[in-house]
Structure 1
Amino acid sequence: MRKLFKIVLIVCVAIASTQCSKDKYTIAKGKVGQITKETTMQDLENIFAKDSIVKILSEGAKGNYYFQDDDEYQIFEKGGKHLLTIVPREQLDSTSTIKSIELFDERFKTVNGLNILSTFRDINANNAISKIETSFSSATIFIDDLNATIAIDKEELGLKEFNMKKVSIEQIPDLAKIKSFIVWFN
C-alpha cells in the first residue's frame, strides 16, 4: 500500500510540475507566461527572480516628448538568452501595468503551438487574421483572438521594393517567417 501511495504521489508531482512549466510559457489573450493584465512593473522582479532584467528607461517628463522612447524591460535568462521585452503603459512608474510584450524565445507559445519560429501557414491555420497593414519594410498581421501583432519582413514575401503597397493574405507565402511577435495588453 505504501509503495502504491509513493508511486501515485510521484506521478502527481510530475504532472503538477509539467503543468507549471507549461504555464510559464503559455501565450493567450491578456497573458504571457505568468504575466497578466494586472501585472505591474514592480512584479517583474518576483516573476523573473532567477533571470536578469535590463531596464532601459526613457527621460520621462524631462525629455523631448516628440522623440521620446518607451521604457523597456528586457528579460534575459542567466545564460544570456533574450526571452522578452516588456513595455509599460506609463513611463518611469513601477506601479504601471504592461502595454506590450515582444517575444524572443520559442518556448513561449499558444495552445495551438504558435511561437516566434512559426511560419505564416501556422498563423493562418489556427488564428483569425483581422487585418494586415504594411510599412516600408514589413507586413503586420493583426490577430484579435490573441490581441497580438506579428510582423513579417517584406523580403520573406518576395517584395524587395521599399514602398507602402498594400499586402493581402494571398500574397504571403506559407513558409514566410516571423520577424516579430508582440502581445498587447489593452
Structure 2
Amino acid sequence: MKKINAFLGLLLVVLTITSCSRENKTIIERNRVGLVCSQDLIGEIETIFANDSIVKNLSEGALGGGDTKYVQDNDEYLVYSKQGKHLMTIVPNEQHDSTSTIKYVQIVDPQFITEKGLSLSSPFKDINVNYMINKVETSLSSATLYIDELNATIALDKKEIGVNPFSTQEIKIEQIPDMAKIKYLTIWFD
C-alpha cells in the first residue's frame, strides 16, 4: 500500500511539473499562448475553452463527397469568446487526429501579450527593441520576422514597410519603419 501511495504521489508531482499552467489566460511564451501549451492534445481544446466557442474547419478529407471547390491543407480550430470575438486559431500537427499535439497558434486578439509587452497591437519598434530578430523572409505581400526566443513568426504587410506588395525586393530590418503594424503573430510549438 505504501508503494502504491508513493507511486501515486510521484506521478502527481511529475504531472504537475510537466503540465501546462492555466493561471495567466493572456500570456504569450515559447510553447504557450494563454490557456494552450505544447503538451495539450487537439482533443482537449473544447475542454480547455469550455467557456468559449470553437469553430472547426477541417481539412479536405473530412468534408466528404470530394468537394474540390474547398481545399485546405490543415485542420483549424478557431476559438471565439462568448461575445463572438475571434481570439486565436489553433492548428494541429496531424489532421483528423484528436490525439495530435498542436503545431501552431495564430493569435488574432491583441489581449494576448508577452512578458516584454509584445502583442498584436505592438509596432515594429517594440519587436526590434525587445527581441532579437533572427531572420527576415520576404514573400509577395509581406515580410516575415523570425523570433527564435519565442519560436514565433511575425508577418508585416509590405504596405506598412513602404514596399510595393509584388516587389521581389529583399527587406532588411533597417528599412522597416518603427510604427509598422503586425499583420500576423504566430507561435510555433516544439
Distance 1:168 1:22 in 2: 38
Alignment partner, residue 77 of structure 1: 81
Alignment partner, residue 5 of structure 2: none
Encode CA deviations 1:119-167: one digit per residue, 9 max, x unaligned.
0000001111000000010000000000000000000011125122110
* Structure whose residues are more often helix by fraction: 1
How many residues end up aligned between the 2 structures? 165
Alignment of 1:22-171 (within 5 A): 23-60=24-61, 68-171=72-175
Distance 1:95 1:103 in 2: 22
Q: Which 4+ stretches in 1 moved above 2 angstroms?
A: 59-64
User: Which shifted more, 34-43 or 53-62?
Assistant: 53-62
Identity among equivalent positions (%) equals 53
Do the aligned residues in 1 keep the contact of 2:22 with 2:35 (CA within 8 Å)? Answer: no
Distance 1:178 1:27 in 2: 15
5+ residue gaps, structure 2, are 1-20
Distance 1:75 1:163 in 2: 34
Alignment partner, residue 8 of structure 2: none
With the length of structure 1 as denominator, give the TM-score of the two structures.
Answer: 0.84
5+ residue gaps, structure 1, are 1-19
With the length of structure 2 as denominator, give the TM-score of the two structures.
Answer: 0.82
What SS does the aligned partner of 1:164 have? Answer: coil
CA RMSD of aligned residues (A): 1.8
Encode CA deviations 1:46-67: one digit per residue, 9 max, x unaligned.
1100100000001239878xx6
